[in-house]
Amino acid sequence: MMRISNAPVLFATSLLLVATAPAYAQNYDLLVDNLPESLVSVDRQRPPYPDTGIRTGQEGWVRVNLIVTADGNVADPIIMDSVGGVEFEKSVRSVVSEWTFEPPGEQLANVVADIRFEIHQGRDLATSNFMRRYRRIVRMLHVEDNEEARAWVDQAAETGGWNLYESTMLWLMIGRVEGAEGNDVGKLEAYRRAQAVNTRGAIKGEDRRELLRKMFELEMGQSQYAAADKTLRKLKREPGNKKDIEELAELIARLEGALADDSPLAARATLFNPADSEESRSLWSYAPARRTFSFAALNGNVERFEVRCARDRLEGPVEPGTSWTFPDGAKDCHVFVFGDDGASFDFVEHIGTESGDATAKAAVAQSDGLD
């Protein structure tokens, strides 16, 4: 597991940043992306910038999944991921349930918003303080001093005060440390977080292709074929990808064969806490490729699941031996599984409405707006 996601996130104060705090307090941007164009805001209060973040220069990013009711209210927000510390997550929770929109006339059950807290929009630079830490961790990994690298990367995360450019680089480094420790689950989650929060100047060109390639390889290694398919499509859209595609030919053929075959797809899954606030829940989320799914190989406390598609939702207990089927016409569905941090299971996708002796249950599922 990613130990960093369970550690308390503390913020240390820099004298330089404290000296410029009054300017920060008056100059920050809050961006909300990914909301459907059909949603017209009536009252969308800005989440307050955490006081500690303003003092230290810490920037943040929160991805939240929410339901918009037919009358335009927000229900049941789920924090899918966050960067910058728990205070940003708390800030989003404090207002998002009060958002209102012009009544869409029908339930929109799978709405995703990326909320970015930036003191200076577009500040794609790393401070000398951050770079000293970064280079030290690189040297430790180079000489395979993984224990010391872990201590330093944890300290960097706990210290805080990083802008989103630095946070992106930090999560890339966390992924390298997780990989050096043999934790591919944590490595993949760290790389996904870096890719999601990526600023315009942090990961681009060859670096972006390399990150997508690594994510694809890790997803294939964990049999997360639907996720690997989406990552591969992103890689194919990147300029200069010809060599990457050629070198991944064997894995790509394996992916295409798995998706075309009628055999079950069993993605290995581990629950993790996307932040560490008391309100956040350990979860695993996935956009499946097939209409019928079940659970197997449960290890630890895996409590329940919820499926969100474009218009409808479904939830129930995680029970081995029971399968669930999305209805015809359900698109872009996203599955959330909740339980204890570190619990694991296999998420099994099936062709049709039956899986062995399992009882298939017709379900109305919901959509996920993420690519």
Please give the order of strands across the beta sheet that includes 29-33.
Answer: 29-33, 108-118, 60-68, 74-83
Cβ 6 vs Cβ 157: under 8 Å: no
The DSSP bridge partners found for residue 324 are 293, 361
How far, in Å, CA of 84 to CA of 118, rounded? Answer: 11
Query: For every one of its 371 residues, what pLDDT tens digit does the chain have, with 9 covering 90 and above?
Result: 444 333 322 222 222 232 233 345 446 778 888 888 889 999 999 999 998 888 888 999 999 999 999 999 999 999 999 999 889 999 999 999 999 999 999 999 999 999 999 987 667 889 999 999 999 999 999 999 999 999 999 999 999 899 999 999 999 999 999 999 999 999 999 999 999 998 777 898 999 999 999 999 999 999 999 999 999 999 999 999 999 999 999 999 999 999 999 999 999 999 998 765 666 788 999 999 998 999 999 999 999 999 999 888 889 999 998 999 887 777 788 999 999 999 999 999 998 654 443 443 433 333 333 44
| 359-362 and 322-325 beta bridge pairing | parallel
Q: Which residue has the tokens 């909320």?
A: 115
pTM of the model: 0.86
Domains of the chain from N-terminus onward: 1-203 (3.30.2420.10), 265-362 (2.60.120)
The candidate with the shortest Cα–Cα distance to 119, out of 196, 16, 31, 217, is 31
The candidate with the shortest Cα–Cα distance to 34, out of 1, 81, 103, 69, is 81
DSSP output for 160-201: ----HHHHHHHHHHHHHHHHHTT-HHHHHHHHHHHHHH--TT
How far, in Å, CA of 152 to CA of 147, rounded? Answer: 9
How far, in Å, CA of 259 to CA of 268, rounded? Answer: 16
How far, in Å, CA of 228 to CA of 189, rounded? Answer: 13
Tell me the residue ranges of DSSP E strands in 49-201: 60-68, 74-83, 100-101, 108-118
